[in-house]
Amino acid sequence: MQSIDTAGAVLRIDLDALVENYRTIQRQVAPATVAGVVKADGYGLGANLVARSLIGAGCRHFFVAHLSEAMALRPILSDGMALFILNGLQPGAEGECAAIGAIPVLNSLDQIGRWARTARTLERTLPAALQVDSGMSRLGLPPEEVAILLAQRERLEGVDLRLLMSHLACADDPDAPSNAMQRRKFDAFSMNFPGVPRSLDNSGGSFLPADHFDIVRAGIALYGGAPQGERREMRPVVSLDARIIQLRNIPAGAAVGYGLTHRCERPTQIATIALGYADGWPRHLSNGGSAYIDGHRAPIAGRVSMDSITLDVTDVPDVLLYPGALVELLGPHQTVDQVAADAGTIAYEILTQLGHRYHRSVRGGRDPAQAEHHAMKVAI
Ligand SMILES: *Cc1c(COP(=O)(O)O)cnc(C)c1O
């Protein structure tokens, strides 16, 4: 990793804000428990980093999408913690999944069959979550497979059901009628398995006025994305600044960047900053997005290049403009949701695309044991 002084851009991760978001959701959904969704490398922030902080805050349930993500995370979890694999049980993955003690989310009769066979082969029960499709038509048992399963419950022999789950299609929209419909369907399905813990809500769902069942699967809200748009703001967790690498003054009529798509109507000062689409900054922000320099807005002029972006800094005070100066891409003046809106996408995509050339600096999130150690040292 580059040092903070020489890196083109600096990504700061505030683990105290992450933990605060976790607690906010926890308060919101109590007595349900909040699980941490740390798939896609913790939404781009670093799965192990995030998981350690959440463990420090009391989190004991984690969700990833892939077996490979589960294998990478398992070593930092203790035995009592639950690690779920959302994408289910891929053919051929049964042995490894059982070996690391991960809990696959079984999404079809085929997956149930293979997991039950693996249990027989290993001569022990294997833990699983069972997902039902309550209307999103993505993952989970479709209605016809549910009917077969309920008629042939022996298919679950050897499977230790730890969780029933389903997923909301429109949790980010509190007015969507599908939310209540899916909740009713899931509730009805779960009556067939009394006593098994239930999970329906993601971040958006955790803010719906409804019963949150036993476990809420929180992702984006932990990471500072607004789970229901402007209605719900979380503490920002990520900030991103890039350095000015060059400045130039160009006359009216001159054009900027690939394709010469931005033509200046006035004499213009252009700052080129060291961050581009290879760093996860959407090319869709060409002639669209903004950056901020000490609170002054600097619109993107021209196309986003692979390694650099050109900003119109004509209206920014000169004292703030020099090679090496840091320009805010994410921070107090621009949230990840605003950048996403400018780029025609969602905060999830901005975060998970964050690049790997940044200097990454982490604030807060000391684990409790270390904090205690620190407190003792201070006391002495
Ligand atoms: C990604 C995912 C989540 C987390 O969703 P957020 O909107 O980020 O809170 C929860 N459940 C499932 C099934 C998911 O795929």
pLDDT tens digits for 127-167? 999 999 999 999 999 999 999 999 999 999 999 999 999 99
Task: Specify the pairing of strand 262-263 against strand 255-256.
Answer: antiparallel
Radius of gyration of the chain (CA): 24
Segment 308-323 shows an average pLDDT of 98
Q: Is the pLDDT of residue 377 over 50?
A: no
Q: What are phi and psi of 27, to 5 degrees?
A: -60, -40
Distance 205 CA to ligand 1 centre (A): 10
Burial class (CB in 10 A: 0-12, 13-18, 19+), 299: middle
Catalytic residue among 22, 39, 223, 348: 39
223 is catalytic: no
258 is catalytic: yes
Q: What is the Cα–Cα distance from 95 to 118, expressed in whole angstroms?
A: 7
| Exposure letters 29-54 (e unless 16+ CB within 10 A, then b) | beebbbbbbbbbbbbbbbbebbbbbb
Peptide bond into 31 cis (omega under 30): yes
Fold annotation for 15-222: TIM Barrel (3.20.20)
Question: In CATH terms, are 15-222 and 238-345 the same topology?
Answer: no
Mean pLDDT of the chain: 94
Structural domain boundaries in the chain? 15-222, 238-345
Distance 219 CA to ligand 1 centre (A): 6
Q: What is the Cα–Cα distance from 38 to 218, expressed in whole angstroms?
A: 9
pLDDT tens digits for 268-307? 999 999 999 999 999 999 999 999 999 999 999 999 999 9
Task: Specify the pairing of strand 215-218 against strand 126-131.
Answer: unpaired
Please give the torsion angle defined by the CA atoms of residues 188, 161, 202 and 80, in that order, rounded to the nearest 10 degrees: 150
**pLDDT confidence band for 367 (50 / 70 / 90):** low
Residue to probe by mutation, ligand 1, list 45, 63, 215, 351, most atoms within 8 Å of CB: 63
Around ligand 1, the residues with Cβ closer than 6 Å are 37, 39, 86, 167, 202-204, 217-221
Fold annotation for 238-345: Lyase, Ornithine Decarboxylase; Chain A, domain 1 (2.40.37)
End-to-end CA distance of the chain: 36
Task: Specify the pairing of strand 255-256 against strand 215-218.
Answer: unpaired
